[in-house]
């Protein structure tokens, strides 16, 4: 008899491992960390499970993701077809994006979660988990890097974003839509993705460099930067407007940072379309910001741009490499 295919599940917490109270409110991590992990799996599939943490996803630490990465690599080396990570939905896309910088194996690494606690009516965790297990086993998922599976759809880690804080249909992919639908024995691919960008490989750092996101809108000239100690920032992501624009009075402060060797990346708060390189040339526009030494984030959301910049700074990347790696995410 053929040995069953094996999928290894690592859990980090989130709503999939939470229970709500008797009134249907106040969901919190359940006593059993794998409360959300009971799900029908095909007979010829063996699912192993190791809980890594049971926390709300904003509290997931880089060191825990580093542990997940190492455990996932070990599981594949030990014969697992793929690995599933259960995770809170609030930062699921961040962990997926960060892990995708280091996951250099063909086997799928699949993140999933739930919008409804494990004991809520219509809990979506078991179905999402079953779909994530199917995806981890799917031949077509091999080589696609890190994936997020939610509500029967498969998303690429570099595109997926949470678009609803309430609906079970909580994730979308910009600008392409999901890469596949989950099928019983394989995925139904919607398109074939192009090459992976910014694949660093190696170990995920336990500590990420200090790179905050500063949102600049109407009337905000980034004065906060004047109050920071000179070495407070290891990099900065600006969440600008439109195609990556800021108030003109902020530009001098950003130029002062790049002149001191602090990398500055400009993203946009607009959900679709990304930043540009040369649509506009006026004070505070992308052309002006590039002249000031800033790098444009292209299609990356501000929070993905932050993680990419942190990964690159942690890897010792210089200004040229930083702009090259971001260019790969441009439009
Ligand atoms: N609302 C969250 C979730 O869906 C909580 C979290 O992100 O941990 O899991």
Q: What is the mean pLDDT of each run of 10 residues along the chain (331 residues)?
A: 85 93 91 59 84 96 98 98 97 98 98 94 93 96 97 97 96 93 95 88 97 97 96 97 98 98 98 95 98 98 98 97 95 70
Q: Do both 132 and 84 map to the same domain?
A: yes
pLDDT confidence of residue 39 = 60
Nearest one of 286, 287, 298 to 322, comparing CA atoms: 298
pLDDT confidence of residue 266 = 98
CB of 125 closer than 6 angstroms to any ligand 1 atom? no
End position of a domain, from candidates 189, 222, 247: 189
Q: Do both 254 and 170 map to the same domain?
A: no
**Ligand 1 mutation pick, 16, 19, 88, max ligand atoms within 8 A of CB:** 88
pLDDT confidence of residue 280 = 96
For residue 131, the CA-to-ligand 1 centroid distance in Å is 19
Q: Do both 53 and 185 map to the same domain?
A: yes
86 domain residue, yes or no: yes
Q: Do both 173 and 222 map to the same domain?
A: no
pLDDT confidence of residue 41 = 67
Q: Do both 229 and 153 map to the same domain?
A: no
Q: Do both 181 and 236 map to the same domain?
A: no
* Nearest atom (ligand 1) to Cα of 57: 8
- Angle between helices 62-77 and 92-100 in degrees, nearest 10: 60
194 domain residue, yes or no: no
CA angle 259, 263, 264 (to 5 degrees): 95
Given a contact cutoff of 8 angstroms between Cβ atoms, the answer to whether 289 and 266 are in contact is yes
Give the chain's largest Cα–Cα span.
Answer: 71
Q: Which residues are catalytic?
A: 89
CB of 90 closer than 6 angstroms to any ligand 1 atom? yes
204 domain residue, yes or no: no
CB of 88 closer than 6 angstroms to any ligand 1 atom? yes
d(CA 81, CA 106): 10
pTM here is 0.96
Task: Supply the range of the domain harboring residue 253.
Answer: 213-327
199 domain residue, yes or no: no
CB of 15 closer than 6 angstroms to any ligand 1 atom? yes
Q: Do both 113 and 241 map to the same domain?
A: no
Given a contact cutoff of 8 angstroms between Cβ atoms, the answer to whether 234 and 206 are in contact is no
The two three-digit tokens of residue 262, written as one number? 């602090």
Q: Do both 69 and 175 map to the same domain?
A: yes
pLDDT confidence of residue 230 = 86
159 domain residue, yes or no: yes
pLDDT confidence of residue 196 = 82
Q: What is the CATH number of the domain that holds 86?
A: 3.40.50.1170
257 domain residue, yes or no: yes
For residue 29, the CA-to-ligand 1 centroid distance in Å is 10
Question: Which residues neighbour 311 within 8 Å (Cβ) at sequence distance 6 or greater?
Answer: 98, 101, 198, 200, 205, 208
End-to-end, the C-alpha distance of the chain in Å comes to 51
The residue whose C-alpha atom lies closest to atom 6 belonging to ligand 1 is: 88
Domain count, the chain: 2
317 domain residue, yes or no: yes
Q: What is the CATH number of the domain that holds 235?
A: 3.40.50.40
CB of 93 closer than 6 angstroms to any ligand 1 atom? no
202 domain residue, yes or no: no
Q: Do both 238 and 167 map to the same domain?
A: no
Omega before residue 175 within 30° of 0, cis:
yes
């Amino acid at each position: 008899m053929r040995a069953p295919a094996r999928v290894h599940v690592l859990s980090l917490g989130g709503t999939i491992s939470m229970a709500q109270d008797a009134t249907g409110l106040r969901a919190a991590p359940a006593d059993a960390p794998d409360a959300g992990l009971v799900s029908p799996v095909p007979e010829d599939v063996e699912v192993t499970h190791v809980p890594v943490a049971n926390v709300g996803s904003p509290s997931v630490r880089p060191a825990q993701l580093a542990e997940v990465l190492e455990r996932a690599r070990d599981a594949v080396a030990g014969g697992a077809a793929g690995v599933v990570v259960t995770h809170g939905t609030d930062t699921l896309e961040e962990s997926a994006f960060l892990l995708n910088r280091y996951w250099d194996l063909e086997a799928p690494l699949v993140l999933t979660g739930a919008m409804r606690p494990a004991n809520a009516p219509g809990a979506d965790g078991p179905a999402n988990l079953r779909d994530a297990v199917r995806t981890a086993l799917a031949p077509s998922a091999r080589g696609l890097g890190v994936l997020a599976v939610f509500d029967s759809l498969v998303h690429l880690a570099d595109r997926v974003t949470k678009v609803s804080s309430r609906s079970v249909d909580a994730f979308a992919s910009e600008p392409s839509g999901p890469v596949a639908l989950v099928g019983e024995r394989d995925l139904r691919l919607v398109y074939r993705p192009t090459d992976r960008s910014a694949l660093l490989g190696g170990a995920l750092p336990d500590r990420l460099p200090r790179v905050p996101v500063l949102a600049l809108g109407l009337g905000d000239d980034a004065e906060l930067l004047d109050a920071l100690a000179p070495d407070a920032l290891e990099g900065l992501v600006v969440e600008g407007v439109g195609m990556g624009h800021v108030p003109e009075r902020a530009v001098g402060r950003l130029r002062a940072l790049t002149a001191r060797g602090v990398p500055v990346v400009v993203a946009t708060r607009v959900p679709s379309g990304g930043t540009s390189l040369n649509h506009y040339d006026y004070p505070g526009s992308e052309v002006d910001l590039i002249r000031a030494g800033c790098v444009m984030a292209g299609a990356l959301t501000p929070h993905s741009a932050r993680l990419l910049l942190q990964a690159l700074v942690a890897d010792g990347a210089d200004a040229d490499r930083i702009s090259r790696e971001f260019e790969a995410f441009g439009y």
